[in-house]
Amino acid sequence: MNRGVDTIVVQATALTAAAFEPFGDVIETTGHRPRPINEGTCLRYDDLAQVDVLEHGGRPLISLFEAAPRPLPLPIRSLERHPLSSQAFYPLDGRPFLIVVAEDGPPPWAGRIRAFLSSGAQGVNYRRNTWHHPLIAIGAASRFLVVDRGDADGNCEQTSVDDAVVLATTG
């Protein structure tokens, strides 16, 4: 990694639905009005993500991920996207995690890379074709529930990020 003068440091900002809108959904209760169910013993925050996995006969998968924490600062060397499906991640240990996404376009990537910090009570759902970095747990091993279409052929594109971009600690 080039840690020279040209290194571009991306700082994460708090994950909000408004800031993440170009990339997908934030799965959270904040900003959503629940409805009471089960004789008032439960609040349902309904339909928080656009699950888009049915293209070409796809079906929704529920999977569990166990992610090792990444050291920070983290070089951003590649991104991936799924042309056939959305992909949702929700943290199961209440731990914050980092989300790196980029708007599509020709190189250089640096100016288009954005980073967000989940509170630990927020998941994300990447919209189909959103460039994103593989899962970035921080601090400790973290579990996630994932709803996607699986890794079927043709559903994962990868691109290298040749710019010297590092994801920094937040704040």
Q: Which spans of this chain sit near a second copy (rule: CB under 8 A)?
A: 27-29, 34, 37-39, 41-49, 51, 53-54, 59-68, 70, 88, 90, 92-94, 123, 125, 134-135, 145-147, 150
Cα separation, 158 vs 81, in Å, equals 7
Cα separation, 85 vs 155, in Å, equals 7
Cα separation, 28 vs 32, in Å, equals 8
Residue 91 vs residues 18, 27, 48, 146: alpha-carbon distances, Å: 20, 10, 15, 9
For the bound state, the minimum distance from the C-beta of residue 106 to a second copy, rounded and expressed in Å, comes to 26
Amino acid at 153: D
For the bound state, the minimum distance from the C-beta of residue 92 to a second copy, rounded and expressed in Å, comes to 6
Nearer to a second copy, 36 or 108 (CB): 36
For the bound state, the minimum distance from the C-beta of residue 62 to a second copy, rounded and expressed in Å, comes to 4
For the bound state, the minimum distance from the C-beta of residue 55 to a second copy, rounded and expressed in Å, comes to 13
Nearer to a second copy, 116 or 132 (CB): 132
